[in-house]
């Protein structure tokens, strides 16, 4: 086995032996025109042998694996013990001899950089930058061996251990190699990234440059010049005051010196050097096939490259069929689901939607390039989103203003789209008919799919999605009903504001509307709490149930063994029969449904038991109905006092009737869709179980990492590509840490919209007003619904809400979200429950701290953070 490999023996395929950094350096040394200082790698074989001779480390690794990432005290203790054991060990003589021989080939007493190179470092989806240690200007064989040991030990620094645990990397799954590389003593050094670090634009190269060693920049010790290059032209340069430089100490190590005052404001690189370095970076990027983060330095001879790693924080660009400019609009921001989706979930959603969608980073996007190229369609798109999601609307406007998309003439008047038809009249029978049609179709689906197996199941599902599901979702009369509810709300808000000075009247008029299946769900869980509350043994059992990792059937079976458990089970079963197909992120068919994981409901049930009196559901509905009736009476009476008042009141009454007839129905089509999704999922999991029994798959949920057509092929051939499954799982994990943009260009640039408002207090956090009223309270910043700890009066602050969050709305007094619009879930339910709400607030969960007191202005669309008492 090889304990040492020279760079010439290494390429990108040797990650398992030399780690990510070592493999990249070996690969860099093979690129024509790229100068890489000579060096070698101490391989992972050496590291594994050293650890094998330290049984105490093995014991501590077992304990580390059992800890949560937040247990910082014990992680710190155990990682220190592991580092100490490695540092105090003696490097075996044969390994030491190989290292010394390789060092001697670099030259007697050569000054070297000694750097860690873990097998999960500098990878396309996980950089691990800065997680392990590096040492500069190490001189002498004994010092080299000592620093190799230090690098091995640095795999177990507290920060490295915590990073691995948070990112799903097992400690035993990662080995450590060490890079030993001849030092360059540069006059300038820095960092080059082949994409704009702020906007992610792949057409821009950004270069940071400073005097001396690059360590000063990497560590943040000094400011750097920053240059930007686009298409071979320097487009921007910021010249920093560079007061310090880090340089090699003749005795070994480094030292810091002051730069002469007359040189502190000098531009480090000339424009010609900047362009040449950018061209070098583009060549490295082309070789590796993805944007790179490159460390460079320059001596009197040339530029040298001392490291290159993939940039792992960039959001991927959707694939296009041509090289033209494209603009992509996020689907997740409109669907209130910005989390990463697994491949099966993405492909089922793509089958469902008639609009062509492209996936990137585990999210879906619509290509709006064609719409933006037409003056008429462009105006409609931008204005539409300016009203429903102002940040997306402003981002689209920015794209248009830049001229990123060429304009093409509008179609002739003869082919222009027809005007929208008049609103339909209030007709409760239509709503009942639409719901009955959906429920009848669902019952037929449940019956018919049972007869199918093998590839026939997938063919049946594909036909049902593109036939029956689309027929129901895009039924013309259904769309008319939804439009009538939405436009009547807008009409009432506009007219009553103008006629009576009454702002946001529709918010109250939509309280307790009939048939809102999502609002009814939140109240239904209050009824479940009423059924459980009289049984203390059941309540005690629920308090002991973890909200994750509990088998659904076992949970229900154990529930019935407690006194009162059967009554509780009956109530919970009735809830699950009606709503069990729902869950967080429900548009992703792979997500665990409440029927599969009923313990997910336990925290909300317990909160309802603690915070509400019996009969709260009926009382809340009655209160909402009374408020809506009173508001109707008030506005009609005030209208009748105006000139032509009777006519105005009659017209307004008709709009209120439309609103209350159709507003609740808007939530039903999605409920019907996820009901069908759950039927599909159960059928697919039956096939997955068969694949497991046949030895084709290891786990039924492996199918979630296949696209729908790929799954059909696996069922057909009874063969699966396990390498593909492993790669898909790795990518999904990486995608979970990415923040999806609202708008993304084919250059990779993330276009961020802003609220262009001048009517707000200086310290206000702007958003979109979606539910009237003002409320003060304690902010509870919640990222995981299962961890929500809410008490009455709290204000929920979160990234987004979908229907699964509705049960929490009965407790809170206000809502703030990062994603949303006027007719998205959080807004609709906030109005239904009478909660002031502001949505679309950029980075709300970062700008508002958990526990802070805030004031939500739901009518004006902003939030104030209140002074600490």
Just list the catalytic residues. Answer: 825
Partners of residue 307 on adjacent β-strands? 295
Distance from C-alpha of 775 to C-alpha of 864, rounded to nearest angstrom: 11
CB-CB contact of 530 with 543 (8 Å): no
The three-state DSSP-derived secondary structure of 377-445 is HHHHHHHHHHHHCHHHHHHHHHHHHHCCCCCCCCCCHHHCCCCCCCCCCCCHHHHHHHHHHHHHHHHHH
At which residue do the structure tokens 């997938």 appear? 458
Distance between terminal CA atoms of the chain? Answer: 66
* Sheet bearing 743-745, strands edge to edge: 357-360, 363-367, 327-330, 743-745, 750-751
Distance from C-alpha of 661 to C-alpha of 430, rounded to nearest angstrom: 9
At which residue do the structure tokens 């999704």 appear? 677
Q: How many CB atoms lie within 10 A of CB 865?
A: 16
Distance from C-alpha of 80 to C-alpha of 57, rounded to nearest angstrom: 11
CB-CB contact of 703 with 688 (8 Å): yes
Nearest to 118 by CA among 189, 18, 41: 18
Residue 531 CB contacts under 8 Å (≥ 6 apart), including other chains: 567, 568, 570, 571
Nearest to 839 by CA among 738, 757, 765, 741: 765
Residue 628 CB contacts under 8 Å (≥ 6 apart), including other chains: 508, 509, 510, 511, 512, 513, 660
Show the tokens assigned to 151: 């690098």
Distance from C-alpha of 524 to C-alpha of 601, rounded to nearest angstrom: 12
Distance from C-alpha of 325 to C-alpha of 747, rounded to nearest angstrom: 8
Interior/surface letters 443-454, b for 16+ CB within 10 angstroms, e for the rest: eebeeebeebee
* Helix, strand, coil share (%) of the chain residues, nearest 5: 50, 15, 35
Rg (CA), the chain: 31
CB-CB contact of 482 with 658 (8 Å): no
Distance from C-alpha of 519 to C-alpha of 542, rounded to nearest angstrom: 24
Nearest to 247 by CA among 287, 292, 297: 297
Distance from C-alpha of 637 to C-alpha of 625, rounded to nearest angstrom: 18
Distance from C-alpha of 3 to C-alpha of 804, rounded to nearest angstrom: 54
Which CB contacts under 8 angstroms, 24+ apart, belong to 637-643? 638/500, 638/502, 639/499, 639/500, 642/499
Q: Phi/psi at 633 (nearest 5 deg)?
A: -60, -45
Q: CA-CA distances (angstroms) from residue 273 to 28, 216, 268? A: 20, 21, 10
Please state at what angle helix 668-693 crosses helix 428-449, rounded to 10 degrees.
10
Q: Phi/psi at 787 (nearest 5 deg)?
A: -100, 10
Q: Phi/psi at 8 (nearest 5 deg)?
A: -65, -20
Residue 598 CB contacts under 8 Å (≥ 6 apart), including other chains: 552, 555, 556, 572, 576, 580
């Amino acid at each position: 086995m090889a304990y040492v490999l020279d760079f010439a023996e290494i390429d990108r395929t040797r990650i398992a032996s030399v780690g990510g950094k070592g493999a990249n350096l070996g690969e860099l040394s093979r690129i024509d025109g790229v100068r890489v200082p000579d060096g070698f790698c101490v391989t992972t074989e050496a590291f594994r042998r050293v650890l094998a001779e330290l049984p105490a480390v093995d014991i501590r690794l077992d304990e580390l694996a059992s800890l949560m990432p937040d247990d910082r005290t014990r992680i710190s203790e155990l990682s220190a013990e592991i580092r100490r054991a490695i540092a105090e060990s003696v490097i075996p003589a044969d390994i030491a001899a190989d290292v010394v021989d390789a060092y001697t080939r670099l030259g007697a007493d050569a000054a070297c950089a000694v750097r860690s190179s873990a097998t999960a470092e500098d990878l396309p989806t996980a950089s691990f930058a800065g997680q392990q240690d590096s040492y500069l200007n190490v001189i002498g064989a004994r010092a080299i061996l000592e620093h190799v040991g230090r690098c091995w030990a640095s795999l177990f620094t507290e920060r490295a251990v915590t990073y691995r645990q948070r990112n799903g990397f097992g400690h035993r799954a990662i080995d450590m190699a060490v890079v030993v590389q001849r030092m360059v003593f540069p006059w300038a050094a820095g960092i080059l990234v082949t994409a704009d670090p702020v906007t992610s634009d792949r057409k821009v190269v950004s270069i940071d440059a400073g005097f001396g060693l690059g360590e000063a920049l990497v560590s943040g010790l000094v400011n750097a010049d920053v240059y930007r290059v686009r298409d071979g032209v320097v487009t921007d340069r910021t010249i920093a005051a560079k007061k310090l430089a880090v340089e090699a100490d003749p005795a070994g190590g480094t030292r810091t010196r002051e730069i002469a005052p007359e040189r502190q404001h000098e531009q480090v690189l000339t424009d010609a050097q900047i362009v040449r370095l950018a061209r070098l970076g583009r060549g490295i990027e082309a070789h590796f096939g993805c944007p790179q983060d490159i460390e460079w330095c320059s001596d009197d001879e040339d530029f040298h490259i001392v490291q290159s790693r993939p940039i792992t924080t960039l959001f991927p660009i959707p694939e296009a069929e041509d090289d033209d400019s494209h603009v992509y609009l996020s689907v997740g921001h409109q669907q209130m689901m910005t989390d990463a989706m697994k491949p099966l979930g993405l492909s089922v959603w793509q089958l469902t939607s008639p609009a062509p969608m492209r996936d990137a980073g585990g999210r879906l996007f619509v290509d709006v390039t064609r719409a933006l190229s037409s003056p008429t369609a462009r105006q409609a798109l931008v204005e539409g989103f300016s009203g429903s999601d102002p940040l997306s609307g402003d981002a689209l406007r920015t794209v248009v203003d830049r001229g990123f998309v060429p304009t093409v003439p509008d179609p002739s008047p003869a082919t222009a789209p027809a005007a929208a038809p008049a609103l339909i009249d209030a007709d409760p029978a239509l709503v009942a008919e639409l719901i009955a049609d959906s429920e009848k179709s669902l019952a037929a689906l449940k019956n018919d799919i049972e007869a199918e197996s093998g590839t026939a199941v997938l063919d049946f599902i594909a036909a049902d999605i593109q036939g029956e599901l689309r027929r129901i979702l895009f039924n013309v009369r259904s769309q008319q009903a939804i439009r009538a509810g939405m436009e009547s709300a807008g009409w009432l808000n506009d007219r009553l504001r103008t006629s009576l000075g009454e702002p946001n009247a529709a918010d109250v008029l939509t309280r307790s509307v009939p048939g809102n299946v999502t609002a009814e769900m939140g109240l239904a869980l209050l009824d479940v709490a009423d059924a459980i509350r009289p049984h203390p043994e059941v309540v005690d059992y629920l308090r002991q149930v973890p909200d994750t990792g509990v088998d659904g059937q076992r949970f229900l079976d154990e529930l019935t063994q407690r006194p009162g458990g059967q009554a509780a089970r009956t109530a919970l079963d009735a809830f699950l029969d009606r709503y069990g197909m729902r869950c967080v992120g429900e548009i992703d068919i792979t997500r665990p449904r409440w029927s599969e994981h009923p313990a997910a409901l336990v925290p909300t049930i317990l909160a309802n038991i603690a915070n509400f009196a019996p009969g709260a559901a009926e009382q809340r509905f009655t209160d909402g109905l009374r408020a809506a009736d009173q508001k109707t009476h008030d506005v009609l009476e005030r209208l009748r006092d105006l000139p032509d008042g009777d006519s105005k009141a009659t017209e307004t009454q008709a709009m209120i009737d439309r609103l209350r007839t159709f507003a609740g129905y808007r939530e039903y089509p999605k409920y019907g869709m996820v009901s069908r999704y759950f039927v599909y999922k159960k059928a697919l999991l039956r096939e997955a179980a068969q694949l497991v029994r046949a030895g084709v798959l290891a786990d039924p949920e492996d199918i979630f990492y296949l696209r729908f057509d790929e799954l059909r092929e696996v069922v057909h051939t009874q063969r699966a590509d396990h390498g593909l499954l492993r790669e898909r799982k790795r990518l999904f994990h990486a995608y979970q840490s990415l923040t999806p943009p609202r708008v993304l260009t084919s250059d990779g640039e993330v276009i961020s919209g802003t609220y262009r408002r001048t009517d707000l207090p200086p310290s206000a956090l702007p958003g979109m007003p979606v539910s009237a009223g003002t409320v003060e309270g304690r902010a509870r910043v919640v990222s995981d619904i299962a961890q929500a700890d809410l008490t009455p009066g709290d204000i929920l602050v979160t990234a987004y809400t979908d229907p699964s969050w509705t049960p929490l709305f009965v407790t809170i007094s206000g809502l703030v979200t990062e994603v949303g619009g006027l007719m998205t879930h959080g807004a609709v339910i906030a109005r239904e429950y009478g909660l002031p709400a502001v949505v679309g607030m950029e980075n709300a969960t970062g700008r508002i701290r958990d526990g802070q007191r805030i004031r939500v202005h739901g009518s004006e669309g902003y939030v104030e953070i209140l002074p600490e008492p």
